[in-house]
């Protein structure tokens, strides 16, 4: 299952990176983000000390585990040109839909979060899995945060609701701050 988790999460981040790198603007790598997505005080969730079952190069900024065992990871994609963020998001949505996935939007902190439900994939142990992702741009629009969770197809409705509940606790925090610290003010 480790291979499927890494592959499905990275496919989404890879598509976003590919679309961003195709932009004519020069590539800008965000090495020191001002604010990161955190979930201070999220009920039933705890932050892991590191991302598990992923390589250090996989752009995983954080991992949270629910008491049921569901894992959520936050992947980072640097934004080449903040002015093209909307176009990039539209292309990402289109790509997911072309692959048979479902895309939607929901209100989020004065803007919109894009929800993407990837098509079902079969794991090596014959379990049908679904990747649920929410795409949120950082306030400065220089870094895209992809909140993603790979769950069994049978549990997707409950798992998606848990992610929405987690997002209700979302706050933009200083990168060194723990999820247990109070959220920092938006800049």
- Angle, alpha carbons 51-57-60 (nearest 5°): 35
- Considering the domain boundaries, does residue 11 fall inside one? yes
- Considering the domain boundaries, does residue 104 fall inside one? yes
- Considering the domain boundaries, does residue 185 fall inside one? no
C-alpha–C-alpha distance, residues 93 and 100, integer Å: 11
Q: Which domain holds residue 29?
A: 2-173
Six-digit token pair at 132? 């649920």
- Considering the domain boundaries, does residue 186 fall inside one? no
Segment 28-76, tens digit of pLDDT: 344 455 778 889 999 999 999 888 887 766 788 899 999 999 999 999 8
Segment 123-168, tens digit of pLDDT: 888 889 999 999 988 888 888 889 999 999 999 999 999 999 999 9
- Considering the domain boundaries, does residue 25 fall inside one? yes
pTM of the model: 0.75
Six-digit token pair at 79? 């934004």
Question: Into how many domains does the chain fold?
Answer: 1
C-alpha–C-alpha distance, residues 72 and 147, integer Å: 7
CATH of residue 100:
3.40.1000.10
């Amino acid at each position: 299952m480790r291979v499927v988790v890494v592959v499905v999460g990275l496919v989404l981040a890879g598509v976003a990176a590919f679309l961003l790198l195709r932009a004519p603007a020069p590539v800008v790598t965000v090495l020191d983000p001002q604010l990161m997505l955190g979930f201070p005080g999220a009920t039933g969730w705890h932050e892991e000390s590191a991302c598990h079952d992923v390589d250090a190069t996989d752009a995983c900024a954080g991992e949270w585990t629910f008491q049921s065992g569901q894992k959520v990871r936050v992947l980072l994609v640097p934004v080449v040109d903040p002015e093209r963020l909307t176009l990039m998001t539209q292309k990402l949505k289109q790509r997911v839909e072309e692959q048979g996935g479902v895309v939607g939007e929901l209100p989020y902190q004065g803007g919109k979060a894009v929800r993407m439900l990837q098509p079902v994939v079969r794991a090596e142990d014959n379990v049908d899995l679904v990747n649920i992702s929410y795409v949120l741009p950082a306030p400065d629009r220089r870094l895209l945060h992809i909140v993603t969770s790979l769950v069994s197809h049978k549990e997707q409705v409950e798992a998606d609701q848990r992610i929405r509940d987690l997002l209700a606790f979302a706050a933009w925090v200083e990168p060194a701050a723990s999820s247990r610290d109070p959220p920092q003010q938006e800049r």
